[in-house]
Homo-oligomer: A and B are copies of this chain.
Amino acid sequence: MATKRIGILTGGGDVPGLNSVIKAVVYRGSELDFEVTGIRRGWEGLTHVNIEDPQSRARYILPLNPANTRTIDRTGGTFLHTSRTNPAKMKAVPDFLKGKEFPRKENTKRGVTSEVYDVTSQVLKNLEALQLDNLIAIGGDDTLSYAARLDKEGFPVVCIPKTMDNDVRNTEYCIGFSTAITRATDAIERQRTTVGSHERVGIFRVFGRDAGHTALYTAYVSSIRCCIPEYKVNLEKLVELLLADKRTNPSNYCLLVLSEGAEWEGYKVREYGEPDAYGHRKKMSVAEDLSDEIKRRAGEETVVSDLTYDLRGGSPDFVDKLVATTYANMALDALTENKSGVMTAIVNGCFTLSEIPDPKLGPRRVDVPTMYNTDRYRPNYQAKNGLPIFLIRA
């Protein structure tokens, strides 16, 4: 008989490295005589599963073993699938639960108020029905905040942070970040040739609504300018800097990377479309807006390139494999020691177990004074002595 029965799920946007975590949990778990159960589609697997219905069970529950996870770490994404479901804030309860009573409350996100259901009681019931002792939840802020809730309700959870944006608090590193930079720099290196051939201003947009880490680190290793949500640049000065770069470059082009949430003084990012389950709406592309401004102000043609899904596609790079494997093993070590309510993390350059971050604090943002050169609109390269390897303090 298994010494422990562990559930594992992935929530939120996928990143390369999730499958490495899952495989490592299953393989090491099998050595520890743990039984590992995959919960499919993030928290939805625990809100929507109808345990009595074999079809529903097949849709949401997948017993894991070395045989069915052997090759998954060779590809990115999550073979358990993922969703953005938050059991504490559901707009509707699943059909088969219609009629059951769940606590309701008003939820306001980015100015939009709606009534949501908290189906935590059902989640706990399902965890019991599945005979799980513990849960490993892998995700970003949204996913982890519900993990903390569940742990407070008495069901022991260990969290593993992932997000391309690297903006989860209490850790300096989230799985997916290094691969995102790898992809971004690869794309910029490839597309540099077309920007140069046409003598353009090349504008690369990357994910990052509230935190500019992805843009900043791409700029840091590519020696180009960047704009991040944490600092509003002066548009006139930005254009001047870019044109000066272009003139200085014997190939007569220049490059800029900006976060989707970057802004300039006087600019307000426009949003459109319906908010998602967490109240997020799509934003108009600041890259296109900047392109128009550059044309208007300087008569310069641009190349606007949106490096979106490519940053989260493909297989993980070395750092993401290293951290994913280590986080997975740390999570199992924690469960073995009966620790829960913790998150695997890197703090001050070392692996550790952190508190699950308080969602009210919002994402961890770029520390502008140490990391962003507000004069040159590029990363700050000096005074790194003493900083942890990712130049970030958790």
Give me the interface of A with B, judged by CB distance under 8 Å: 10, 13-14, 16, 18, 20, 23-24, 27-28, 41, 67, 70, 73-79, 81-83, 173, 178, 181-183, 185, 187, 189-194, 196-199, 217, 220-221, 223, 249-252, 303, 305-306, 308-310, 312-315, 317-319, 321-323, 325-326, 329-330, 333-334, 346, 348-353, 381-391
Contacts and interface: CB of A to CB of B under 8 A. Distances in A.
A150 to B, nearest CB: 22
Max chain B CB contacts within 10 Å: which of A83, A310, A313, A325?
A313
A196 B308 CA distance: 16
Given A321-B221, A353-B385, A381-B24, A305 B309 contact: yes
10 smallest CB-CB distances across A and B, nearest first, come from A349-B349, A77-B193, A190-B313, A190-B314, A14-B197, A221-B321, A77-B197, A76-B193, A191-B313, A349-B350
Contact of A349 (B189, B346, B381): B346
B317 A317 contact: yes
A321 B220 CA distance: 9
Contacts of A319: 178, 318-319
User: How many copies are assembled?
Assistant: 4
A330 B220 contact: no
A23 B249 CA distance: 15
Contacts of A303: 309
B318 A185 contact: yes
9 contacts: A28-B381, A76-B194, A190-B314, A217-B318, A305-B310, A326-B391, A333-B383, A333-B385, A351-B385
Contacts of A185: 318, 321
A363 to B, nearest CB: 21
Nearest to A181: B318
Contact of A76 (B190, B315, B317): B190
Given A191-B313, A193-B16, A319-B319, A221 B325 contact: yes
Q: Which of the listed residues A182, A185, A349 has the most CB atoms from chain B within 10 Å of its own CB? A: A349
A126 B74 CA distance: 37
Given A221-B325, A351-B387, A385-B353, A310 B187 contact: yes
Contacts of A333: 382-385
Given A329-B382, A353-B385, A381-B329, A194 B317 contact: no
Contacts of A391: 322, 326, 351
Contacts of A381: 24, 28, 325-326, 329
A314 B389 contact: no
Nearest to A248: B66
Nearest to A80: B197
B350 A389 contact: yes
Contacts of A24: 381
A352 B385 contact: yes
A178, A388, A389 pick with most chain B CB within 10 angstroms:
A389
A76 B198 CA distance: 12
A383 B330 CA distance: 7
Contacts of A13: 194, 198
A301 to B, nearest CB: 10
A314 B308 CA distance: 18
Contacts of A349: 346, 348-350, 388-389
